[in-house]
Structures are given as C-alpha cells and as structure tokens.
Amino acid sequence: MSKSLSILCIGAGYVGGPTMAMIARHCPEHRVTVVDIDAARIRAWQSDVLPIYEPGLKEVVQASLGRNLFFSTDIAGGIAQADIIFVSVSTPTKLFGEGAGRAADLQYWERTAREILTHATKDVVVVEKSTLPVRTAEAMERILRAGRPGIHFEVVSNPEFLAEGTAVHDLLSPDRVLIGGHDTAAGRQAVAAIADLYAHWVPRDRILTTSLWSSELSKLAANAFLAQRISSINSLSALCERTEADITEVARAIGMDRRIGPRFLNASVGFGGSCFRKDILNLVYLCEHYGLHEVAAYWEQVVRMNDYQEDRFVHRMITAMFNTIAGKRIAVFGFAFKADTGDTRESPAIRVCERLAQERAQLVVTDPQALDNARQELAARQVPAEFEADPCEAARGAHAIAVLTEWAEYEKLDYRRIFADMTKPAFLFDGRNRLNHPELHAIGFNVYPIGKPPLTHL
Ligand code: NAD
Ligand code: UGA
C-alpha cells in the first residue's frame, strides 16, 4: 500500500464533490477533504440530501464519509495539511471589462492560488481540475512561485470529462484520464503521483499523460467537438423541417458510418449546461487573442447555431399556434438542461421561457428535480411563471406542452388523460424527440417534433 497522502479539493461543486468521493472510495489509505466558501453547500454534502442530484452519488459519498472523506469550510487548515490540492472552483464566462461575454472569469481561480500561497506549509502538487484557458498554469505558477521560496509548488493539469446525470459511471469507468505536466523531474514526479491515484481503479492504458498545454487545450477541444456535433445535427434539423426529411432517420444513416459514430447525434431544442457555451466562447476568445480570427469565427458559429435552434423552437410554436400565444397557457415539461440532473445552468429552457414570456404566454413549469433552480433562474430574469411538480396538473387547461428536457417519466405519462384536460386544439412541441409522436397524434394532439414533419389535425 502506498504512503498515506492528504488530498484537498477546493470547490465542492458538481465536479469537486463527485470526483473526490470517487478518489476517497478507491484510495482508502488517503485522506480526502473537500472545502468550499459556501457553508450551506458543505453542510449539504455532510447530510442525507446532497447539494446536487446525481444518480448513484449518495451511495459513493456515504461509503467514505467520515472515514477518509471529509467536507469542510476550513480552507486554510486544509491547505496547510495538503500534499496534493485539486482546484475545482467555478470558471464562468467573464461578464465585465475586457473579454466580457467570452473570456473565462479567473477571479475565483486566482483567489485560490493566493490562498494556497498564503497557507501552504510544505511542497505541494496543485492540480487544475477546473476547465481553464490554455497556459493558465503558467499564471498559477507565477503567483505560487512569487512568495514562498522554501516551498515547491508543482502545477499539473487534470481536466474532468464527466457529464452530469452520468457522473458516477463516467468517474468509475472513464474513457480516459488526462494528466498534463512539465517535462522536468518534478513535473514527471507530480504527474506520476496523480496517475497513481487514478490507477487504483482506472486501467493504466486509459491514463494519458501529455504536456500541460496539450492537456489544458484538450479539455476545451473535447467540449467544442461535442457541442459541434449537436449544432451540426440541429442545423440539419432545420433543413429537415423544410424538406420532409426526418432528422432521426438522417442521424441513424450517418451514425452507422463508423467514422462518424452514432452518439451525440440527438437533435434537440439546443444544448445547455454550464460548460459547452462558456468553453467554446473561451476558445473563441483565445483564438482572437492569438490573431486567429477565422478559427475563432468557425467555433463561434457552434454557439450561434445553438441560439438559432432555441429561437427557432419558439418561432415554430408561435406560427403553429396561429401566430399568437398571448394569454395562452403553456406547460413547460422539464427545465433541467438534460435529464437526470437538477442543474439548470444555461438550460435551453431559460431562453425558450424568456421568449415565450415576451410573447405574453402564461407559463407553468414542471420538472422532477429542477423546480427550485427553475424558480431562481426565471425570477432573476423577471420572467413570470407558475411552478407545478405534477406534469398532469401543469398541463391542465394548457393550450400547449413544450417538452424541453428528456426526462424518462415524460414518456410514461397518461397522455390520453392529459389531452382530455387541455384546451383544444391541443399542441405538443417535443424539443427532445423522445415521445411517441404517432401515438400522441392518434390521441388528438397536434405534434411538432424537432426536424420532422408535424403531425396535425388542422
Ligand atoms: P460549481 O459552481 O458547481 O462548483 C464550484 C464551487 O467552487 C462552488 O461551490 C463555489 O462556492 C466554490 N468556490 C468558488 N471560489 C472558491 C474559493 N475561492 N474557495 C473555495 N471554494 C470556492 O462548478 P462545477 O460545475 O463543479 O465546475 C467547476 C469547474 O469544473 C469549472 O471550471 C467547470 O468548467 C469544470 N467542469 C464542470 C463539469 C460539470 O459537469 N459541471 C464537468 C467538467 C468540468
Ligand atoms: C459535457 C460533456 O459531455 C462532458 O464530457 C464535460 O465534462 C462537461 O460537458 C463539462 O465540461 O462540463 P454535460 O454538459 O454535463 O457534459 O452533459 P452532456 O451530456 O454533454 O449534454 C450537454 C447538452 O447537450 C445537454 O443540454 C444535452 O441535452 C445536449 N445534447 C446532448 C443534445 O442536445 N443532443 C445530444 O445528442 C447530446
């Protein structure tokens, strides 16, 4: 058994909590502590009701909680003890000053670097877990090496590739673990120390080591490629709607080409989540910074196409419903950015609801896990809406249902009963293409899927 290490993670969010719980579970000889400035979040990690909804996570946390997994607000104390510090704080899009709307806001990141500098008591490996612009490690190193000559700080990059809703599976069986470091003796030693942690449960051939800069860029590149696939299929969904081609059939046909592959080709109302948009805009900003304007424009189009898809969805609703939705009750089925999470950050539902409210529709939002977050998102934008846990109640008296999240439970609802309680003609706009459209049509709905001809009675 290897030497017992004190591992700290700064940032107890969607990444910090699950990744550290997985490390603690598989490395019982190490002590893992997760710290955060948000005391309520820390209390929630220690309780029966975790601060995030993620299938299977509670069992993983509880397996180690209080044994070798601890959550705390004592950031200074944690740093003082740590041999390895993962930094997993938020890196949102900057909303002010230079680079506003595109660049990464690194204030939380830099604050963490300064905290580490102040409180470290021994040599420490600092691991970039957050998604960061290329060459951020350089800035981190400059800060860390500025003030504590007796202490060696080695910075490595270990970006996280988990997706929400499948975080436990993704952490347990990752396609790869990426670790980037300097090609120096200290750099190689630090990379090996991080690789050894993962090797407790990840096969060595899936642990990839690269230079720091390749590792930082690979994270942005992976998200850009994934989002690009969605924008590509969504762009074609618009063409399908004009030509009576069917986007599901097209996706299947192209996805059977092994060079293309079948995954991530589901046309939708648009991609959401805290990262795709911000990471692509960050990539765009970086390209602009280096004078690569054509490259920047290429990637920016992925985000523009997503905005277009969200707007197009609303436009289709309005035109289908006789060019006016003012005063009409619309049931929004799902507010989370995807199924199996309560996360609503950058959810397409936000923009769709804003647009519908601008048209003076009366919104009633339902979601099995994200109602509290939905309430906060819409209140922050002064979008009036009702909130209803039961989708059948949400649809009562509604002129239309807009399905914005692919929750499995929406496939099992009694649509015959729902239809009976709705205002006629009743519309259903499926922004996820998960429902049985011919069946809904047979019940009486006017059904508008994404990228397919509508099934109407009008
Ligand atoms: P999050 O907002 O859920 O969590 C970040 C946490 O950091 C918050 O709890 C916040 O209070 C804390 N924090 C901020 N400043 C701090 C400080 N100075 N000291 C201590 N704590 C501080 O964010 P997240 O979704 O976990 O994302 C974290 C990073 O991981 C981001 O860079 C993101 O791009 C990246 N990432 C996220 C995902 C995902 O699925 N959410 C996946 C891969 C990578
Ligand atoms: C994504 C990546 O998949 C992760 O690898 C990455 O670590 C993470 O971003 C991150 O850096 O934060 P996540 O955003 O949690 O994970 O979820 P995804 O499954 O990628 O879905 C993103 C959005 O795309 C969702 O709104 C989803 O509904 C949408 N989507 C996905 C589609 O519209 N069509 C698809 O075929 C797939």
CATH of the domain at 308: 3.40.50.720
For residues 344-363, give the mean pLDDT: 98
Note whether 34 and 176 are same-domain residues: yes
Which-ligand-closest: CA of 335? 2
- Average model confidence (pLDDT) for the chain? 96
145 pLDDT band, cuts 50/70/90, is confident
Q: What percent of the chain has pLDDT over 90?
A: 94
Q: Which positions ≥6 away from 438 have C-beta within 8 Å?
A: 455
Kindly state whether residues 149 and 258 are assigned to the same domain.
no
The CA 204 to ligand 2 mean position distance, Å, reads 26
> Which of the listed residues 175, 217, 266, 275 should we mutate to test ligand 2's pocket, taking the one with most ligand atoms within 8 A of CB?
275
Co-location of 310 and 187 in the same domain:
no
Task: Report the nearest-CA residue for atom 21 of ligand 1.
Answer: 36
Of 40-49, 138-147, 344-353, the poorest mean pLDDT is in 138-147
Q: Are 185 and 266 within one domain?
A: no
Give the N- to C-terminal CA distance of the chain in Å, as an integer: 71
At residue 147, does pLDDT exceed 80? Answer: no
Q: How confident is the model at residue 231 (pLDDT cuts 50, 70, 90)?
A: very high
The mean pLDDT value for 196-211 works out to: 98
pLDDT tens for 85-143 read: 999 999 999 999 999 999 889 999 999 999 999 999 999 999 999 999 888 888 889 88
Whether 139 maps to a domain, the answer reads: yes
Ligand 1 atom index nearest CA of 159 = 44
**How far apart are the CA of 376 and the centre of ligand 1, in A?**
19
Say whether both 296 and 390 belong to one domain: yes
In the predicted structure, residue 259 carries a pLDDT above the cut 90: yes
Q: Whose CA is nearest to atom 1 of ligand 1?
A: 13
Whether 180 and 239 map to the same domain: the answer is no
- Taken as a whole, the chain contains a residue count of 458
Q: Note whether 90 and 53 are same-domain residues.
A: yes
Nearest atom within ligand 2 for CA of residue 131: 11
> For residue 135, what are the contacts with CB-CB under 8 A and spacing of at least 6?
213, 216
Nearest atom, ligand 2, residue 348 CA: 26
Same domain, 253 and 389: yes
Q: Check whether residue 109 and residue 172 sit in a common domain.
A: yes
Residue owning the nearest CA to atom 3 of ligand 2: 163
Give the position, in ligand 2's atom list, of the atom nearest the Cα of 266.
36
Among candidate residues 174, 202, 230, the one where a domain is terminated: 202
Single pTM value for the model: 0.96
* Number of independent structural domains in the chain: 2
Pocket, ligand 1, Cβ cutoff 6 A: 10-16, 36-38, 41, 75, 88-91, 108, 111-112, 130-131, 160, 162, 164, 274-275
Residues 132, 251: one domain?
Answer: no
> Is 50 exceeded by the pLDDT of residue 1?
no
Helix, strand, coil percent values for the chain (each to nearest 5): 45, 15, 40
Residue where one domain finishes, among candidates 175, 202, 229: 202
Whether residue 213 lies inside any domain: the answer is no
> Cα–Cα distance between 41 and 30 in angstroms, integer?
23
* CB neighbour list of residue 78: distance below 8 Å, 6 or more residues apart: 8, 10, 33, 35, 72
pLDDT of 2 strictly over 70: no
Domain assignment present for 165: yes
**Which atom of ligand 1 lies nearest, measured to the CA of 129?**
30
153 pLDDT tier (thresholds 50, 70, 90): very high
Examine the domain organization and report whether 434 and 288 are in the same domain: yes
Active centre residues (catalytic): 275
Residue 209 lies in a domain: no
3-state secondary structure of 387: strand
Query: Do 225 and 163 share a structural domain?
Result: no
Question: Is the Cβ–Cβ distance between 178 and 167 less than 8 Å?
Answer: no
In a domain, 377, yes or no: yes
- Of 157, 177, 202, the last residue of a domain is 202
* Ligand 2 binding pocket includes 223 (Cβ within 6 Å): yes
Tell how far the Cα of 270 is from the centroid of ligand 2, in angstroms. 10
Are the CB atoms for 29 and 4 separated by under 8 Å?
Answer: yes
- Substitution site in 53, 129, 176, 230 for ligand 2 pocket (most atoms within 8 Å of beta carbon): 230
Residue 210 falls within a domain, yes or no? no
Q: Whose CA is nearest to atom 14 of ligand 2?
A: 273
Which-ligand-closest: CA of 76?
1
What pLDDT score does 326 carry? Answer: 98
Give the closest residue to 212 by CA, choosing from 174, 158, 286: 158
For residue 103, is it within any domain? yes
In a domain, 400, yes or no: yes
Q: Is 434 in the pocket of ligand 2 (CB under 6 A)?
A: no
Ligand 2 and 160: CB distance under 6 A: yes
**Whole domain around residue 245: which residue ranges?**
218-458
User: Among all ligands shown, which has an atom nearest to the Cα of 220?
Assistant: 2
